[in-house]
Structure 1
Amino acid sequence: MDDLTARPLLDSVVISATSEIKRRRERFSARSLVAWQVGAHGNKVELSTFADDVRSALNVRRADIQFTKFHPEDFFITCSNQSDRDAILRQPRLATASGRDESLHGIPARFRYHARLCLEGIPMHARTDEAAAKIIGRKCSIHYVEEYSRRGNYNRTFDLWIWTDEPRAIPRGGPFSLTSADEEGLSMDILLPDLEPHRNPPPSEPKEG
């Protein structure tokens, strides 16, 4: 087994904002808010207790609102529509709540280098944005894939443009492995009543590739 004590303490990762990420950002910005408890024992309040209190105080149906634990605040609330979320924020009884702000615990970053990469040796059926993102490494973000590469009109290389602040971190080459297919998971955009924790059994054997 690998020595887990050798894991890096900190690392940075850059990813592209995909259409799914953009949809979720817009959805959470319009319908979600964060809330927290006041006092020394605020973080010990049960999620079900907080949810029942908010539904009762604001007269919101169970099917129209979802509550989850959240860090570093205490609770993350998602409404089925923006009007319910706005009504909650106007309630004086819920003073310890605010609209979701993705920059609250983030650090602004700027990527200075825009580079074109031509990737060789990728099988035709594996020429996807996901595969390219793995190959170029954690310090890069895909800007776009050249249209002729996306359409398969030119197959010698898979050509794309990236943003990065560390061009020296782009690998020169390496092995490329494709694992056996996994069962497809559920869509991330599902209705509120179905957003419950789903526990899958751990794999019993190593992944083959």
Structure 2
Amino acid sequence: MVLGDPNTRPEEETIFVPNSFDLERDARDWEECTLVPWAMHLPRGAGARDIEALLLHDLHLRRGNVYVTVHQPEPFLIRFENSAHCAEARRRGRFTGNGIEIHLRRWRNLSRALGMRIFFRVRLYLDGIPEHAWTPDIVERVIGHRCALQCINTDQPTDTRHIDLWAWTANPSDIPKRVWLVFTHRPTDKSSVVVVTREQELLERWQQCLRFEVFLHIGVVEDYTAASHDLHGAVSNPEAFKPIRRPYFWRYGLLDGAPAEATSRFPARLPKPPCVQEERRQDRPGQERNQELARWDAAQDDVRGGEGRHRGDGHARKQGDFIWPRRCDDDDSDNEYTHPGRGGYESRRSHVRLEADGVRRERTRSPRKRDSEFRG
């Protein structure tokens, strides 16, 4: 068994395609201009061209006014260019000639369709789609296997962190947490994301692609399954059926449900600009003096056998029965900050910290208001 064998392929998949005015117009046009046989007799060797010739002769039409193609499950599909010609052929119903006898009926768009109801509405946040691909077509491709797009809420001129949308789904648990958006090469219009070789023979044997990691975050799930027990009542009085709303937390660059200590792949941290660091050095003329004192305390600590005021790294140390706290200038790192996509758990740590020796110390200033965790 190798890749591509029937036993290696999935049994089924669902693709959601939002209906549109153009699709409905085309469906109506096909129903008005298309017929299929419901009973017929053909001599051996007769086919679509013979049926087309019979219709052209009996209806006094010119070539190009009607097309007959081999079809499935009906054996033939008869498409007229003019709805009036189709109506005349449907009125006559039966055509005979050259040993052919065929009975026609109207083609129906919904003859093989099955009904389906969807009772879950979800608010999705697409995190990771490149900005040049922010189009409704790309969004529908990303979520189309599990969701039907309802509307897009994102205001792109002011917020390009994620794409915010509402969609319908048969089962929220089937929505993947991550998808890979792959851009391929199209030889017909000579478009390529990466130029690897100009040899046409190699381009026909393999594809050089680029893929982007896209996270699908679920912010809110609205459950309408209660309406399925009384559909007639839900239709006549929709206000009586309120959905069950379940909000969820999510973080940029991480799978939904990731551990609290998890961090996004990139960017993890961004350094402060060099000019800001230089200004802060100038604002602290005593910083070098503090470092000298720390080194001196560490040396004295080694002389006294490990019981100095402070350790050289700025942590609290124990001297006899007294515990010296950390210096206030070591409270936070001034050269780093928490990126909004990193996880945001540092901004939600308790305002009270415990030192390595169990000392309880209150913060001397408020935590930063950088929140990358979202609800709903």
User: Under TM normalisation by the shorter chain, which class is it?
Assistant: 0.7 to 0.9
Q: Which amino acid aligns with 1:113?
A: F
Note the alpha carbon deviations across 1:7-57, whole angstroms, 9 max, x for none. Answer: 123333322224443332132122222225535x68974111111112112
1:32 aligns with one of 31, 34, 47: 34
Partner of 2:94: 93
What is the CA–CA distance in structure 1 between the aligned matches of 2:43 and 2:56, rounded to whole Å? 18
Cα 1:43–1:204 shift into 2, 3 Å: farther
Q: Which has the higher strand share?
A: 2
Alpha-carbon distance in 2 for matches of 1:206, 1:26: 41
Q: Does the CA-based 8 Å contact 1:16-1:142 persist in structure 2?
A: yes
Q: Which residue of 2 aligns with 1:162?
A: 167
Trace 1:108-123 onto structure 2 (pairs within 5 A). 108-123=115-130
Q: Say which one has the larger Rg.
A: 2
Q: Which has the higher contact order (CA 8 A, sep 6+)?
A: 1
Structure 2 portions without partners, runs of 5+: 96-101, 190-202, 210-376
How high is the TM-score relative to the length of structure 2?
0.45
The yes-or-no answer on 1:143 pairing with 2:144 is no
Is contact 1:136-1:171 (8 Å) kept? no
Offset at residue 157 of structure 1 (A): 1.1
The alpha-carbon deviation at position 85 of structure 1 amounts to 1.2
Aligned 8 A contact 1:31 1:82 in 2: yes
Instruction: Name the CA shift for 1:44/1:170 in 2 (closer, same or farther; >3 Å).
Output: farther
User: Are residue 175 (structure 1) and residue 180 (structure 2) matched?
Assistant: yes
> Which letter maps to 2:86?
R
In structure 1, the residue matched to 2:67 is 66
Task: Give the CA deviation at 1:91.
Answer: 0.8
Aligned to 1:124: 131
Using a 3 Å threshold, how does the CA distance of structure 1 residues 98 and 7 change in structure 2: closer, same or farther? same
Retained in 2: the 8 A contact 1:143–1:161? yes
Helix, strand or coil at the partner of 1:183 = helix
Q: Please tell me whether the aligned partners of residues 43 and 74 of structure 1 are also in contact (alpha carbons under 8 angstroms).
A: no
Q: Does the 8 Å contact 2:16/2:148 carry over to 1?
A: yes
Change (3 A) 1:7 1:44: farther
Q: Does 1:49 align with 2:50?
A: yes
1:75-133 deviation per Cα after TM superposition (whole angstroms, max 9, x unaligned)? 11221121111111101424622222111111111111222211111011112223222
Q: Could you tell which deviates more after superposition, 41-50 or 84-93?
A: 41-50
SS in 1 for 2:36: strand
CA contact (8 A) 2:149 2:168 kept: yes
Q: What secondary structure, in the 3-state scheme, does the structure 2 residue paired with 1:207 have?
A: coil
Percent identity reads 21
**Alpha-carbon distance in structure 1 between the residues aligned to 2:170 and 2:74:** 31
| One-letter identity of the residue aligned with 2:133 | A
Distance 1:60 1:6 in 2: 51
* Alpha-carbon distance in structure 2 between the residues aligned to 1:143 and 1:44: 51
Report SS of the residue matched to 1:163.
strand
- Residues 1:42 and 1:159: Cα distance change in structure 2 (over 3 Å): farther
Shift in CA distance, 176/2, structure 1 to aligned 2, threshold 3 Å: same
Change in Cα spacing, 1:18 to 1:131, as seen in structure 2 (3 Å) is same
Q: Could you say what secondary structure the match of 1:111 adopts?
A: coil
Matched residues in 2 for 1:65 and 1:91: separation?
16
Give the match's secondary structure for 2:178. coil
